[in-house]
Amino acid sequence: MISVSTTQRRTWIPFATVFLAMVLLVIPAPELIRGFLPDWVSLVLIYWALALPTRMKVSLAWVAGLAVDLLTLGIPGAHALSKAVLVYLVKILALRVRAYPLWQQSVVVMLLLGLEVLVFAIVDIVTEGGLGVLHRWTAVIVGGLAWPLIYLVLRRSRHLANLSR
């Protein structure tokens, strides 16, 4: 890769945003709004896979997912699996989706988050034989609606980090 930028790259910034998303994920929220809060980690990972499809690695997403699993004392591997699938797909679709207007990106994000719910459903069926994930649909829709905000904030952080590709 030929780098012509004279300013220094701050590769730690994307990692910091993922870390922040994890903090946001475990903040105790009132029961009323808990069902509507999207999975911030997924949204942040989607952004970085979209903005830097060559640099974002599926392995990084897998590790981030595993961290979420450990953080919430969930079944280790569930979030790791879903996040890896998510980032893999976004990496493939990145060039096309990046050209979409923001609202269309929101729709794609909703579909991706919905896919993640499906992955959780499969894990649930395999591990417990029950379906406990149907309450997550509201969070999927809210996640899609929150996408423009996430996009703008993270684009700002990407410019700060001097990462253009």
Partner 1 sequence: MVKRGGGGLVRGLGPYLLLSAALIAAYLHLTPVRTVMHSAAVIGIPIHFLASLPSTVLNAMQGHLTTADQLRKEFEAIRQRNLILQTRLHRFEFLENENARLRTLLSATPSEAEQVTLAALLAVNPDPSALTVLIDKGSADGVFQGQPVVDSGGLIGQVTKPGLFRSKVSLITQEDQAVPAQVARSGLRAVTYGGGPNRPLRVLYLDRNADIRAGDLLVTSGLGGRYPPGYPVARITGVERNLAEAFMTIAAEPASHLGRDREVLLLWLPDEDTSSHEKEIEIQADDD
Q: Which residues bind partner 1 (CB under 8 A)?
A: 19, 22-31, 34-35, 37, 39, 58-59, 62, 66-67, 70-73, 75-78, 80-81, 84-85, 88, 91-92, 95, 123, 126-127, 130, 132-136
Cβ distance to partner 1 smaller for residue 145 or 162:
145
Q: Is 83 in a helix, a strand, or coil?
A: helix
Tell me how far apart the alpha carbons of residues 119 and 137 are, in angstroms, rounded to a whole number.
Answer: 13
Q: CB of residue 165 vs partner 1: minimum separation in angstroms? A: 16
Q: Please say which residue, 13 or 58, places its beta carbon nearer to partner 1.
A: 58
If the CB atoms of residues 77 and 114 are measured against partner 1, the closer one turns out to be 77
In whole angstroms, how close is the CB of 31 to partner 1 at the nearest point? 5
Give Cα separations from 78 to 46, 62, 112, 126, 160 (angstroms).
17, 10, 16, 11, 32
- How far apart CA 129 and CA 131 sit, in angstroms, is 7
Cα–Cα distance between 87 and 94 in angstroms, integer? 10
Q: How far is the CB of 104 from partner 1 (least distance, A)?
A: 18
Kindly tell me which of 53 and 144 has the beta carbon lying closer to partner 1.
Answer: 53
81 alpha-carbon distance from chain centroid: 12
